[in-house]
Amino acid sequence: MVKSYLIMAIKRISRHKWLISQIRKYFIKLEDTTAVLAKMAMLVMMTVVFVNVIGRYIFSSPLTDTIDYVELYLMPMTIFLYMSSLDRRGGNVGINIIRRKMTAKSKQLVDIFISVATIAVFYLVLTSAFEQSMNAFERGQTTGVHDTLPTWITWMVIAVGIALLLARLFINIASILYEMIAESQLFNTEKIHD
């Protein structure tokens, strides 16, 4: 019964293939944009730390709030804004020794299981990060040497990065299910004609 509902859903989705391909295309552009922002944050982070080291050891005059800027803004941007793009490219850690011995279908099932487990965990992180961001914004929470750096931005960057990752994981699951159902329909058709 579940299989028949999934097959009906896939048939409906396949009618809207153009729309789905457009959504995927724009989502990939969004991921690429956030990946560029993450790379720029990494470049700025390296530059700021380099200038701070030069200032500290050569001129005895380091930049103020360098560590705070790196910890609060640049590091979260580098990590969280790149996660979705990294997942799309298959750059996350995997156990290739075990994976090589698996069949295609078992790889798909493992990928679905891992994606669902990741969604469950990161959904909790997303809600917590968003709540932290709103609380820090409402309270006007700041930090730093001069107590001028707002902390809500950090939590919002984390929430945005995780939201993109969750969307990527849902897209991955939908793609795998679509492939599995399309393959099973193909095999069922072949069995009927034999």
Alpha-carbon dihedral of residues 142, 78, 71, 121, nearest 10 degrees?
80
Strand partners, 143: 149
Cα separation of 57 and 24, whole Å?
Answer: 49
Q: What is the pLDDT of residue 101?
A: 84
Residue 185 pLDDT: 57
Report yes or no: 3 and 178 within 8 Å, Cβ to Cβ.
no
What average pLDDT does the chain have? Answer: 84
Nearest to 124 by CA among 158, 91, 86, 94: 158
The domain segmentation of the chain, as residue ranges, is 2-92+99-193
Q: How many Å apart are CA 97 and CA 132, to the nearest integer?
A: 40
| Residues of the chain where predicted confidence (pLDDT) is lower than 50 | 189-194
pTM, entire model: 0.81
